[in-house]
Amino acid sequence: MDGILNINKPSGMTSFAVVAKIRHFAREKRVGHAGTLDPLASGVLPVYLGQATRLIEYAGDTTKTYHAEIEFGAVTTTFDAEGEVTSRTDTKSLERETIERALGKFVGEISQVPPVYSALKQQGTPLYRLARAGVEVTPQARMVKIDRLVMTEWSRPIATVEVDCSKGTYIRSLAHDLGTVTGFGAYLKSLVRTRCGGFNIANSITLDGIVTAFTTDTYRDSLFPIDCMLSNLPRVEVDDATATNIKNGIGIALPGILTDGICRAYIGGGTFLSILRFDAEQTLWHPEKVFHSLDTTIAM
């Protein structure tokens, strides 16, 4: 069972719980996910099965799109609706134009401080565990990129926004920071991830739907090929002799094709074979991941 499921995670469930449920019904030990979603959030959660789990590390740089509801006039401990309200502000004077001007300050590369209640780790312990234990933690700011940030609806005190952003962007922090810039305070009321890399919510399947598919043996209709998340990498095709060398872990030459980085290699018929990485000293491409006996009949 080698492939990727585009799961529409329900709100109120952790990403780990989704993986555990799929592992149980798929009867596959090798199951993992890319791009953790908070329990409150719903939407696209790519879940990797079988040999696909070996490619999760290459999915980290994918951009994402979110549909978020931000409520102004209150600040919470977690920056979202799950936290305790620490302050309130009257929003009668808050206008749409004020929020739209504030949104412009967050487009592009920005420095963002993650929420204290997050899965980021400090000396091996998740920050949320330290915070709940009363330990004072100060998350380090980091650079993230927001490519698009637009307000699609304003119904005081809630602004609905759409966000295209890089990995590592916390929409909870964005909501909190918008509240700070406008002076009214804000928190993330609800969040839906509508895209993660090449996966969109339009072609996702619900958790209940995939459970039914596993019990009726129709899950293959929902599996994407393991290399579908690698479209950003250059692609090369190799002949049978070169493919044999790759399978045996031998570096190969790809003269005139590529000169640096990593690429994905395919053999005749379009079968995905390997991830190759260039060795500048040897001027050879070495197999970093090799895949054998892949099922190529799953849906594209």
Q: What is the pLDDT of residues 242-295, one digit of tens each?
A: 999 999 999 999 877 666 789 999 997 789 999 999 998 888 999 999 997 654
Fill in the amino acid letter for 281.
Answer: E
Looking at residue 7, what is its pLDDT? Answer: 97
Catalytic status, residue 177: no
Among 7-11, 52-56, 68-72, the minimum mean pLDDT is found in 52-56
Q: In this predicted structure, what is the pLDDT of residue 233?
A: 87
Flag whether pLDDT at 37 surpasses 70.
yes
Domains of the chain (ranges; CATH) run 3-62+198-228 (3.30.2350.10), 64-196 (3.30.2350.10), 233-290 (2.30.130.10)
pLDDT top residue among 148 and 234: 148
- Residue 21: pLDDT band (50, 70, 90) is very high
Predicted pLDDT at 35? 84
Q: Which of 38, 164, 177, 227 is catalytic?
A: 38
| Helix axis angle, 96-103 to 171-182, nearest 10° | 120
Average pLDDT over residues 55-84: 92
Is residue 122 very low, low, confident or very high in pLDDT (cuts 50, 70, 90)?
A: low
Q: Is the pLDDT of residue 25 over 60?
A: yes
Distance from the first to the final alpha carbon of the chain: 15
Residue bearing the bigger pLDDT, 188 or 120: 188
Could you tell me which residue, 144 or 117, shows the higher pLDDT?
A: 144
Model confidence band, residue 138 (pLDDT cutoffs 50, 70, 90): confident
pLDDT band at 297 (very low <50, low <70, confident <90, very high): very low
Confidence of residue 225 (pLDDT cuts 50, 70, 90): very high
31-38 average pLDDT score: 90
pLDDT of 60 > 80? The answer is: no
Name the pLDDT band for 133 (thresholds 50, 70, 90): low
pLDDT at position 171 is 96
What is the overall mean pLDDT for the chain?
90
Q: Report phi then psi at 206, rounded to 5.
A: -70, 160
- pLDDT of 210 strictly over 90: yes
Predicted confidence (pLDDT) per residue in 143-186, tens digit: 999 999 999 999 999 999 999 999 889 999 999 999 999 999 99
